[in-house]
Structure 1
Amino acid sequence: MKLLSPIEIGNLEIKNRVIMSPMTCNFAKDGFITEQMIDFYKERAKGGVGIVIVEDGIVDVPLGNNAKNPVAIDDDKYIPMLKKLSSAIKKYGAKAAIQLSHAGRRAGRVTLENGYLEVTRGQIPVAPSMIAHPFPGQVTPREVREEEIEEIIEKFSQASRRAVEAGFDIISIHCAHMYLCGEFLSPWANKRQDKYGGSLENRMRFVLEVIEKVKSIVGINYPLIARMNGQEPEGGNSLLEIREIARRLQLAGIKAISVSVGFGAVLYEKNFIPAEAPIGTPEGCIVNLAENIKRGVTIPVAVGNKVRHPEFAESILQRNQADIITLGRPLITDPYWVQKVAEGRYQDIRPCVSCCYGCVGNVLKGTPITCILNPLVGKEGKKEFKCAPVNKKDEKKVLVIGGGPAGLQVAISTATRGHKVTLWERERELGGTIILAKKPPRKQELHEIIDYFKNRIDQLNIQVELGKEANEKMIKNFKADVVILALGGNSIKPDIEGIKENKHVYWALDLLRDDYTDIGQKIVIIGGGEVGLETAEWLAERGKTVTVIELLPEVARDMVHAVKFPLVISLNDYGVRILTNTRVKEIKFDSVIIERNGIEKVIEADSIVVAVGVKAENELESRLKDVVPKLFCVGDCKKPGNILDAVHEGFKIGLQI
């Protein structure tokens, strides 16, 4: 298998062709590497990757900051902990690399889901030109002066010295995502009239001077990687110019190119691939861009952004479209991706479905990353979070009621520890709300979660009984030591005049579950949250005329931007009408009456779909409290949440038994 074969970057042999790409984790503290971060990266090295590239090391704090808790490498005081990190990585046979970065104009404000975070401590960010990052709310940078350019180049070189002293085998220079190096390269962001702007030669000058200065410190044979964009929006570098940039980077001494895309924050334009490559984006969406660059260089070219499956990764290498595969989010989800591939255990790989909830979503909240399917992210070194087996005398007979994400995870966690687990599910298939969540367009990848859970259920010999709706008598007769309720929630039924009387009112989850067809042409959806919008897209795809009504000023305000933006664009393309700050006053047999800005209006409707959330379903819990020895309630039947909440809570309950 070519994926597992060695490759050389410069004179350095790498044991296989899988690289862990640099990703902001928000585990650092005051610029310092933490034990939490060491445990996180160590686990990925232990899992078998050839190179672990540590997230951006900021060469110029605070003007180069890119996150709430970035890693700093602009002072010698950071070297000891950096060295401890590199040693932990290399202990398991992986090469340790770090990416050197300056965020440029992106440093002014880190965009959070709930606003903005000033990361430059009151200073105006610098950039080649006074052009703000296109994401809303960004600060217009000031144009960096030539004497400052020389200082920044020196900061890159001193950061490279620290990286070498800290024991890193490889340095990656961040020239992608429209951070400072990428901004200089791109005519889209660089409008300078001096020697650092204008022609391609001038636009490359800053990056080439950085490389030359770094080489003067680390030596000409030290392996340097350049991470660069393979695509830019209209007004940026063409594909031919990008290929030429790569060629000149090789001539300058770069030993490998890592191809990426995007702007370091969500930005969506037609035919422009975002860095996040969220759910619904085709696997291998930038492989053709890597192939373009590969035609211009003879050094190894790495590609990732959305490569999830080992068979697909291998096909890229076999077709000679790239030489190395970079994995980011898949290694967050499953640190042992490479080891499982080497052992032929493809079905055991915990799948990343590119949902962006725990990784990109948490970065945009300014909190440490996690993963919907891996509750151990950021907790790798904590013994209390390990699924330690129980003593034989402590084994329990456990009954889990409900086969949604919370129920499946708690069953798996409990059985992993040695308990005898039985799971009852009232439907004829496992998956719960995941079955419904994967129905809207671009969400089909979610089926891999169900497949993974089913595989683990089989491996652990968990007894599953489908089509079995539990009641108090059945549960009592089962004589379990522990009963865990994972019944899900019930749709909220708002108090709207006419909602009970009219038969053409449907609940979104029921509509997705039963796939009603005779609902007419004109559909009004009450509720503009994630479920409401995705149901709107699902209906619009079927040719329905859809209006979404949302009481709040913004639709889906808690939805991860990386997933929300393409959804909203799709809704616009379908002509879905979205009304915010709007209240539904009454439902009639052929219309709804709404109130917006104090004015009442009538909207014609053949059917109304209600999507205003779910409430806890805990009636059975109250009846069982004095009937079973030990009772737990998990997931939406305890407190409504998303799949991340359900899986993580199920995992924690499993540790308590």
Structure 2
Amino acid sequence: MRQLHPHLFSEIDIGPMRVRNRILSTGHQTYLSRGGRPSEHMVAYHEARARGGAGLIITESARFHESSLSDAPDLTIHEDSAIAPFAALAEAVHRHGARIIGQLSHAGRVTRRMGDGMRGIVYAPSPVAEHRNHVVPREMPAGMVEEVIAAAAEGARRYRDAGYDGVELMASHGLLFAQFLNPRVNRRSDRFGGALENRMRPLADSLAAIRRSVGPGMALGLRISAEELELDGLERPEVIEICHRLAGAGLVDYINVTIGSMAGLGSSVHVVPPMELSPAYVATGAAAIRAALDIPVLVAGRINDSGVAERVLAAGQADMVAMTRALITDPDLPNKVLTGRMDEVRACIGCNQACIGHFHSGHAISCIQSPRTGRELRLPGPETARHPLKVMVVGGGPAGLRAAITAAEDGHDVTLHEAAPAPGGQARLAQMLPGRAEFGGLITNLLGEAGRLGITLKTGSRVDAAMITAEAPDFVVLATGSTMLPPEIEGEGTVLPFEEVLTGRARTGARVLVCDWRCDWVGIGMAMRLAAEGCHVRLAVNGATAGQTIPQYVRDHWIGRLHEAGIEVIPYARLFGVEDGTAYLAHAASDQPILCEEVDSVVLINGRASDTALADEVARLGLPCVCVGDCNTARTAEEAIFEGLAMTRRALRKVTPPCPAEAS
């Protein structure tokens, strides 16, 4: 309700554009394009957020000059054939009362620029090495700089012709225009280098050309990092001066503030800050920029709660707040908050697994908690079943909870049985790792939904074939999870399962070797926790690096923290024996021995095997049944929740289709 968050739900004028509230979805890569154009899936994705009440949607960075094109499924707007697909997207957003702005971007040196399986020619202001993609670019010829300026104006004109409300030029995260601004990266001696006025020329001339191209009727903004937090990155006083000059010259209607750089391993974590970083921590940088300007300042960075967003606005740190990942998790968040349904909001937990994590793996955006995100046209929503069934769900981890919710949404009578004293499964362990407490919000969100749907939850309830026969359900969902594989090692030394150590049921000695087969969060978290408790810790991983299987920005962040904590990481290491204070490992690529001496305790993080015992029994009973989550194959919460929704809904609708009046 407006009284609850009066700043968040007040209108704002940005240049010629009036926006209904202060909630913003910033430009972020969805990989929902087709042939460089917005696809029907991208339209549905952004329309869902407009329908859910967002005030402003900025669509992802579009490449506008041929020197930035690659085989990646990015948006491109360098040809007039792009206008119609972008127009369809703008129309869908406007249909629900939201505003839409399009980004223009050129990566400069921050790219591998892959094409046809090969690395292409990379252009930047100067041949200064980039440290994440390991690129030394070619200096962009002055004539090409002029081409880029003209192409930006043409790209903006295409946004105008598509019916967009504004254009945002990207000089954030160490991208091309930021590279020109930075004297440590721009070492040119021509009119595009040297003094600040010259270094600003490509950006300022592009903004001026865009304004001439689109006229006064569109909002024109700049996205920039308040500081890049990189050794050779832009620093806050430099950024404030740049923004002050641009605003003073009337070249921009707003500044969209972020933080960090894509050019380095350490600073890139700030591009999409995970749960380990404090909420709204970028707001202080935005406030410093806002104090120097008289135009609206927008801010992004870990604002996933409406209360936090309201405080940023009330404190005058920014004029509009980006709740991008919060809207990825729950596109209806604005409407829910506005109508006082705060307890119905599915809160983002900042895990980064299916948003930026999917981008880094080359897949379309989604959310581990909200499988329909990015799949709006592919995954069916709730529809009342023709004949409601009595559904028994066995297992109260993420898969079982999501399955129970899915069945209840379709009108079935659902009882969920969990053998443990509390539901949550592996997620309850995950939240106990350092910096991962917010992961427990996943269970909080699921339990809240289950409660509102009236699902019967029975804990301490171990299900067997006899109970199933006695309960006589019409349909069974098995979400029985997995168990850790027993160690297959030689020697008499003690090996402790990580669950025992994490929950305090086992204590380690002072000198600990953590042996991590999984190469995910757990090994890193266990090593950091034990080091914080005063242990001398070594981390042996059965892969190329610690955290090999987790999203790269977060992985690199935690590898930095391991180094700071003095934890030795031993890569390519597989445990095969423990005896008399020595752990015997084998190099995973060469089979040569690796000896770790003076080890008091070995903590093992092993693979997990599916628990299929009950599935075999249910099959003999002949009941309709579906297995979801780890009891199929042990994976992550993302797959568990996806299967809990998709496989449960599909299986139930084979048994009893939706009512005809509601079928889509």
In which range does the TM-score fall when normalised by the shorter chain? over 0.9
Alpha-carbon distance in 2 for matches of 1:618, 1:236: 53
Match of 1:180?
176
Structure 1 residues 630-649: aligned runs within 5 Å:
630-649=624-643
Match of 1:86?
90
Counterpart residue identity of residue 270, structure 2? P
Structure 1 residues 105-254: aligned runs within 5 Å:
105-109=109-113, 117-118=114-115, 123-135=120-132, 137-232=133-228, 233-252=230-249, 253-254=251-252
Structure 1 residues 384-403: aligned runs within 5 Å:
385-391=380-386, 394-403=387-396
- Any conservation in 2 of the 1:65–1:120 contact (CA below 8 Å)? no
Q: 1:121 to 1:517 in 2, by over 3 A?
A: closer
Q: 1:188 to 1:644 in 2, by over 3 A?
A: farther
Match of 2:660?
none
Deviations 1:309-358 (A, max 9, x none): 00010000001011100122211111111111111222211121111111
Deviations 1:68-88 (A, max 9, x none): 111111001111111111111
TM-fit CA distance, 1:118: 4.1
Q: Give the stretch that moved more between structures: 175-184 or 624-633.
A: 624-633
Match of 2:509?
520
Q: 1:655 to 1:195 in 2, by over 3 A?
A: same
Alpha-carbon distance in 1 for matches of 2:100, 2:506: 56
- Indicate whether 1:464 and 2:457 are aligned: yes
Q: Give the stretch that moved more between structures: 121-130 or 75-84.
A: 121-130
Match of 2:76?
72
* 3-state SS, counterpart of residue 174 of structure 1: strand
Alpha-carbon distance in 1 for matches of 2:514, 2:269: 30
Q: 1:22 to 1:565 in 2, by over 3 A?
A: same
Q: 1:280 to 1:122 in 2, by over 3 A?
A: closer
Match of 1:360?
356
Match of 2:613?
619
Q: Give the stretch that moved more between structures: 543-552 or 86-95.
A: 543-552
- Any conservation in 2 of the 1:525–1:532 contact (CA below 8 Å)? yes
Alpha-carbon distance in 2 for matches of 1:387, 1:6: 33
Alpha-carbon distance in 2 for matches of 1:267, 1:580: 19
* 3-state SS, counterpart of residue 442 of structure 2: helix
Percent identity over paired residues: 29
- Indicate whether 1:47 and 2:37 are aligned: no
Counterpart residue identity of residue 384, structure 2? P
* 3-state SS, counterpart of residue 106 of structure 1: coil
Counterpart residue identity of residue 500, structure 2? D
Match of 2:658?
none
Match of 2:531?
540
TM-fit CA distance, 1:192: 1.4
- Indicate whether 1:550 and 2:555 are aligned: no
Q: 1:235 to 1:139 in 2, by over 3 A?
A: closer
Structure 1 residues 397-412: aligned runs within 5 Å:
397-412=390-405
Deviations 1:357-405 (A, max 9, x none): 11111111111111101111222134x52121212xx211111111111
Q: Of residues 416, 425, 432 in structure 2, which corresponds to 1:423?
A: 416
Deviations 1:185-206 (A, max 9, x none): 1223212122211222221111
Match of 1:6?
11
Deviations 1:603-632 (A, max 9, x none): 222222111221111112112212252122
TM-fit CA distance, 1:67: 7.3
TM-fit CA distance, 1:65: 3.5
Match of 1:332?
328
* 3-state SS, counterpart of residue 37 of structure 2: coil
Q: Give the stretch that moved more between structures: 343-352 or 21-30.
A: 343-352
Match of 1:112?
none
TM-fit CA distance, 1:307: 0.4
Q: Of residues 404, 413, 422 in structure 1, which corresponds to 2:406?
A: 413
- Any conservation in 2 of the 1:550–1:579 contact (CA below 8 Å)? yes
Q: Give the stretch that moved more between structures: 414-423 or 230-239.
A: 230-239
Q: Of residues 532, 557, 573 in structure 2, which corresponds to 1:566?
A: 557
TM-fit CA distance, 1:409: 0.5
Alpha-carbon distance in 2 for matches of 1:364, 1:66: 15
- Indicate whether 1:650 and 2:659 are aligned: no
Q: 1:585 to 1:654 in 2, by over 3 A?
A: closer
- Any conservation in 1 of the 2:166–2:218 contact (CA below 8 Å)? yes
Q: 1:295 to 1:455 in 2, by over 3 A?
A: same
Alpha-carbon distance in 1 for matches of 2:359, 2:263: 10
Q: 1:189 to 1:119 in 2, by over 3 A?
A: farther
Alpha-carbon distance in 2 for matches of 1:583, 1:9: 58
- Any conservation in 2 of the 1:266–1:275 contact (CA below 8 Å)? no
Match of 1:114?
none
Q: Of residues 604, 609, 633 in structure 1, which corresponds to 2:603?
A: 609
Alpha-carbon distance in 2 for matches of 1:37, 1:518: 50
Alpha-carbon distance in 1 for matches of 2:526, 2:128: 38
TM-fit CA distance, 1:11: 2.5
- Any conservation in 2 of the 1:108–1:120 contact (CA below 8 Å)? no
Structure 1 residues 264-279: aligned runs within 5 Å:
264=262, 267-268=265-266, 274-279=270-275
- Any conservation in 2 of the 1:26–1:67 contact (CA below 8 Å)? no
TM-fit CA distance, 1:101: 1.2
- Indicate whether 1:255 and 2:248 are aligned: no
Match of 2:41?
36
**Gaps (5+ residues) in structure 1?**
110-116
- RMSD over aligned CA atoms reads 1.9
TM-fit CA distance, 1:2: 0.7
Alpha-carbon distance in 1 for matches of 2:582, 2:68: 55
Alpha-carbon distance in 1 for matches of 2:49, 2:263: 25
TM-fit CA distance, 1:559: 1.4
Q: Give the stretch that moved more between structures: 604-613 or 545-554.
A: 545-554
TM-fit CA distance, 1:16: 0.6
- Any conservation in 2 of the 1:594–1:603 contact (CA below 8 Å)? no
Deviations 1:109-129 (A, max 9, x none): 3xxxxxxx4489754111111
- Indicate whether 1:506 and 2:503 are aligned: no
The TM-score, its normalising length taken from structure 1, stands at 0.94
Alpha-carbon distance in 1 for matches of 2:116, 2:284: 35
Alpha-carbon distance in 1 for matches of 2:631, 2:593: 38
Match of 1:454?
447
Deviations 1:143-180 (A, max 9, x none): 11111111110000111111101100111111111111
- Any conservation in 1 of the 2:391–2:476 contact (CA below 8 Å)? yes
TM-fit CA distance, 1:600: 5.1
Alpha-carbon distance in 1 for matches of 2:125, 2:547: 35
Counterpart residue identity of residue 505, structure 1? V
Counterpart residue identity of residue 385, structure 1? P
Q: Give the stretch that moved more between structures: 417-426 or 540-549.
A: 540-549
Match of 1:23?
28
TM-fit CA distance, 1:517: 5.2
Q: Give the stretch that moved more between structures: 463-472 or 92-101.
A: 463-472
Q: Give the stretch that moved more between structures: 237-246 or 174-183.
A: 237-246
* 3-state SS, counterpart of residue 43 of structure 2: helix
